[in-house]
Structure 1
Amino acid sequence: MHLKRLEFYIGKLSKKGDINMSINPVVRVSQKFDEGNDIGLITSGEDKYIYDSDGKKYLDFCGGIWNMPFGYTNLAINEKIIKQLNKLPFCNLVTNIADIQHNYAVRLCKIIGTGAVLYTCSGSESIEAAIKTCRKYQAIKKSSRKGISAFPLSYHGTTYGAMSVSGIDQVLLEDYFPLLDNIMWIDLPKDLQDEDIWIEVVENHFKKNAENMAGIIIEPIFGSGGIVPIPEKVFKRIQELCSSNDILLVVDEVTTGFGRTGIPFAFQRYGIKPDLICLSKGISNGYLPLGALAFSNRVVETFIEKDATLEHFSTQGGNLISIAAADAVLDLMEHYEDYEVAAKGEYMVNYLKQLLGSYKSISVRGTGLMIGISFPKDLDAERLLDVWAKIRKRGLLVYIFSNPGYNLGLSLFPPFTSTKDDLKKAADKIVSLLKRYPDIVY
């Protein structure tokens, strides 16, 4: 979904000069400062459900905000957090390394085939560090390359560097200019399933810009871009072009990582070896803020050979309690097949297609438990918000995407603990509502 500009209304003055007390004291993304709450406050959660102060129960198919694949009350995660809390809550990572920081990094590197890990606090920060690494890598190799390439349907975060490479937000960011310079956009084919046209536009981009490219940042599946996967042949061709031109390939697995797509990490499906991997969201099951940037052995060896360092640090990066939650997630991932993510995702996509198959105005796609329902491209975005709100009133939480010229619709990120019955009930609720909108379903 496009991020709307924040309109900085501090509140209207009454005749007495008092601040209007309808102001919401909690600032949220895309929220006006005087926008109040029209729903109950969330008070508790259990597995795939959350409850509000009005006593209403919701089935959360946002999965938190795509970051809670193992649910709200996972005892294995709780226990590891408590154990670490009682042992040691913090370690100064500038001058020391705690055992859990070291051991988790070793464990993660072994799983994803990388050589080192930089701890961050969020996905946005992981992207920031990746951009810095691309430029630093070129600098220590005595190259003047500064350019970072990205796709127009990409979304990578809300810090300055992350906004700069988030294609879907560019039309909304004027108030924040100037963003980073040397950002280069790769054209997208009109038919996003045509691998040959994809490869043609990618090759043209490299032919035109390779001499100035320090790196390229890619989501294996555009999440906010409408649950659109990058075709396998395209991904592999990008890897080849990066390797032959010594350009760093950055894979943003913030959304797709830790099993969301039916495989532990989406890049593994393509058999490629990224230079940098950005992680967050599911890394700690959303329990505590944490992100990571993983470096390939090739990048690590280059820094060692050049006796170079990376100037990046945040005080809470690698917080020990957060890593304890992340370590518990890796424990759960050892039994990943038990959750049948790929099979459940295939079931829900097929069931939605069965219910909506006679309507040419709707398309359904998904990889694992990352599912998109696209509406007609010319639908008014306000109509989409109306559908989203009505689904919420029915006790189901979903998310939306809106990318003018490309797509708009609903996205679903069911927790891995969802049953096929949960998926069926959610699909039935969505489809029964959509059929009341003749401008959407026809």
Structure 2
Amino acid sequence: MDASDHFPSPDALCSFWMPFTPNRAFKSGRHKLLVEADGMYYRSHDGREILDSTAGLWCSNAGHNRPKITAAIQKQAAVLDFAPTFNIAHPLAFEFTHKLSHILPYDLKKVFLTNSGSEAADTALKIAVAYHRMRGNGAKTRLIGRERAYHGTGFGGISVGGIVKNRMHFGTLLTGVDHLPHTHLPQNVFSKGEPEHGADLADALERLVTLHDASTIAAVIVEPVAGSTGVLIPPKGYLKRLRDICDKHDILLIFDEVITGFGRLGTPFAADYFSVRPDLVCMAKGITNATVPMGAVGVSNRIYDTFMQASETPIELFHGYTYSGHPLACAAGIATLETYEEEGLFARAAEISPYWQEAVHSLRDAKHVIDIRNLGLIAGIELTPRDGAPTARALEVFDRCFEAGLLIRVTGDIIAMSPPLIIEKAHIDRIVETLRRVLDQTG
């Protein structure tokens, strides 16, 4: 099969409005097409093997084309292709959420199913506001996000999010939203793991309480590790300090673990890694190994029980999606959780993380590198921007890496990597060697 067998026709190429992509550049010649995947590798339309250092898009945590997951999806499609979950259900939704509840941290044992991380974030925000209303605290509606945060692309998510380009074109967004400062400090440059400085940045929440009063604040939402903005690692003690302030003022703490969930830090969730208890946790991506779209919100028993006991209407939460608990997604989710468990992939990520850390930090002296950040199987490599052309250098590195058989992700002038948890040391060596060579070739 030659390249032309996979390449879209000119008309087809024009039809797909690609997300988060410079469409004009892509369709005028910067074509990057992936047609197959297996294990740690993609295959491009022109037959080249592409090493995946990003787990697709932070999501194929168990690697690609896993037989157990594939078989579960195929079998389910032939048995029950769809069933609604409004006032009726199917067994797999209960089986999957029960299995998921066993690895959810603390008392987050109730699960609301969505179809994406964006929907999970919006769902968590709605549950938080409704929870306070159920308790008679209807004035607690304000939501607190963080600068440089990414919580998907729904109106709730971009309102509490803090990435300027994601917000600036869409009007005033939700009202009653404020933001904490981000945690990226210059004195933490080239930190290995959690940086030493910046736990006191959590105290900005106390200033917002002083400004708005705690009686108006419903929830704080943060990514334990901010991924899409360029891998910002929380300073030591920062998340615990946030938890303490939230407890003090009856504010819910939401962890957006769409990226950090399912083994990325070597534990089931970042809440486990940092030993900090959230009230709600957002999930997606690795929940089905990205084979079928699914998201979820893990909810504390306390919050769920409040809805069950205080609701004055038969429907306790007026919220949901047609595809909440889709049978194929549930089948994929069960098989994915079993794959993680049977292969010990979370523990495996923890075991190889030190090698990953030392390998990526060996690029400290590489051309253009001004900072390296890492935790678990995540790394961010920040480059000096070109004068007058921010992001251009990183995009050139992205293009050159792809041509060299390596898939990376770039955000701004930062290379972000999050490889599948099945990665071997030889893969890590190849990633680092390719990056060093490409950086040396890039002006």
Query: TM-score, length-normalised on structure 2?
Result: 0.87
| 1:138 correspondence with 2:132 | yes
Question: 1:395 and 1:361 mapped to 2: Cα distance?
Answer: 21
The one-letter code matched in structure 1 to 2:400 is K
Q: CA deviation at 1:297?
A: 0.8
CA distance in 2, matches of 1:100, 1:358: 50
> SS state of the match for residue 184, structure 1?
strand
Residue 320 of structure 2 corresponds to which residue in structure 1? Answer: 313
1:200 counterpart residue number: 203
Task: Count matched residues.
Answer: 413
Q: Structure 1 residues 196 and 277, CA, compared in 2 at 3 Å: closer, same or farther?
A: closer
What do residues 399-429 of structure 1 show as CA deviations (whole Å, max 9, x unaligned)?
0122xxxxx3101111112211011011000
Output the CA distance in 1 between the equivalents of 2:298 and 2:363. 42
Aligned mates of 1:316, 1:118 — CA distance in 2: 12
Task: Tell me the equivalent position of 2:308.
Answer: 304
**Selected match of 1:330 from 322, 331, 337:** 337
Please tell me whether the aligned partners of residues 356 and 431 of structure 1 are also in contact (alpha carbons under 8 angstroms): no
- Give the distance between the partners of 1:354 and 1:21, measured in 2 at CA: 45
Change (3 A) 1:358 1:45: closer
Contact 1:189 1:201 in 2 (8 A): no
Superposed displacement of residue 250, structure 1: 0.7
Q: Which residue is equivalent to 2:254?
A: 250
Q: Secondary structure at the match of 1:334?
A: helix
Q: Which residue of 1 aligns with 2:289?
A: 285
Change (3 A) 1:157 1:355: closer
The residue that corresponds to 1:343 in the other structure is 351
SS at the partner of 2:282? strand
How far residue 377 of structure 1 moved from its aligned partner, in angstroms, is: 6.0
Equivalences for residues 205-244 of structure 1 within 5 A: 205-209=208-212, 210-244=214-248
Query: Secondary structure of 1:229's match?
Result: coil
| TM-score normalised over the length of structure 1 | 0.87
Would you say the 8 A contact 1:121–1:316 is kept in 2? yes
State the one-letter code of the partner of 2:393. Answer: R
Unaligned runs of 5+ residues in structure 1 are 1-19, 403-407
Rounded to whole Å, the distance in 1 between the matches of 2:23 and 2:237 is: 46
**Do 1:24 and 1:34's aligned partners in 2 also have CA atoms closer than 8 Å?**
no
Change (3 A) 1:382 1:357: closer
CA RMSD of aligned residues (A): 2.3
Task: Give yes or no for the alignment of 1:414 onto 2:431.
Answer: no
Post-superposition CA distance 1:45-75 (Å, at most 9, x none): 1112111221122111121111101122100
The equivalent residue for 1:14 is none
Residue pair 2:366, 2:436 contacting (<8 A) in 1 also: no
CA distance in 1: counterparts of 2:109 and 2:424, whole angstroms: 37
- Whether the aligned pair in 1 keeps the contact of 2:200 and 2:238 (CA below 8 Å) is no
Preserved CA contact (<8 Å) 2:367 2:440 = no
Task: Give me the whole-angstrom Cα distance separating, in 1, the residues matched to 2:370 and 2:442.
Answer: 12
Q: Equivalents in 2 of 1:325, 1:234: separation in Å?
A: 35
Whole-Å separation in 2 of the counterparts to 1:39 and 1:377? 24
Give the direction of change, closer, same or farther, for the CA distance of 1:216–1:287 in structure 2 (3 Å limit): same
Q: After the TM superposition, which residues 66-81 of structure 1 pair with which residues of structure 2 at under 5 Å, given as runs?
A: 66-81=58-73
Query: In the alignment, what sits opposite 1:389?
Result: 399
| Cα deviation code 1:173-205 (max 9, x no counterpart) | 333213111111112466264234324334333
In 1, Cα distance between equivalents of 2:320 and 2:177: 23
Q: Secondary structure at the match of 1:111?
A: coil
- 1:254, CA displacement in angstroms? 0.4
C-alpha change, 1:360 and 1:286, in structure 2 (3 Å) is closer
The alpha carbon displacement at 1:22 in A equals: 9.3
Residue number in structure 2 paired with 1:64: 56
1:148 is the counterpart of 2:138: no
Quick one: structure 1 residues 31 and 432, their matched pair in 2 at CA, closer, same or farther if it must change by over 3 Å?
closer
- Structure 1 residue 96: Cα displacement: 1.5
Q: Matched residues in 2 for 1:40 and 1:154: separation?
A: 28
**1:126, distance to aligned residue in structure 2 (A):** 0.5
Q: Which amino acid aligns with 1:304?
A: M
Change (3 A) 1:182 1:101: same
The 3-state SS of whatever aligns with 2:149 is: coil
Q: Find the partner of 2:409 among 396, 399, 423.
A: 399
CA distance in 2, matches of 1:182, 1:329: 38
Kept in 2: contact 1:215–1:250 (CA 8 A): yes
For the Cα contact (< 8 Å) 1:127–1:162, is it kept in 2? yes
Q: Which moved more, 1:359-368 or 1:288-297?
A: 359-368
Deviation sequence 1:339-375 (CA, Å, 0-9, x none): 6212323212202323434879532221121111112
In the alignment, the residues of structure 1 paired with residue 244 and residue 281 of structure 2 have an alpha-carbon distance, to the nearest angstrom, of 17
In structure 2, relative to structure 1, the CA distance for the partners of 1:211 and 1:377 (3 Å cut) is: farther
Amino acid at match of 1:332: T
The more displaced of 322-331 and 108-117 is 108-117
1:376 aligns with 2:384: yes
Taking only the aligned residue pairs, the percentage that are identical comes to: 27
The CA deviation at 1:172 is 4.8
CA distance in structure 2 between the partners assigned to 1:199 and 1:355 by the alignment? 31
Cα deviations across residues 268-295 of structure 1 (Å, max 9, x unaligned)?
A: 1222221111110000001011011111
> What amino acid is the match of 1:133?
I
- Seen in structure 2, the aligned counterparts of structure 1 residues 385 and 190 have a Cα distance that, compared at 3 Å, is closer
Q: Residue 345 of structure 1 aligns to which amino acid in structure 2?
A: S
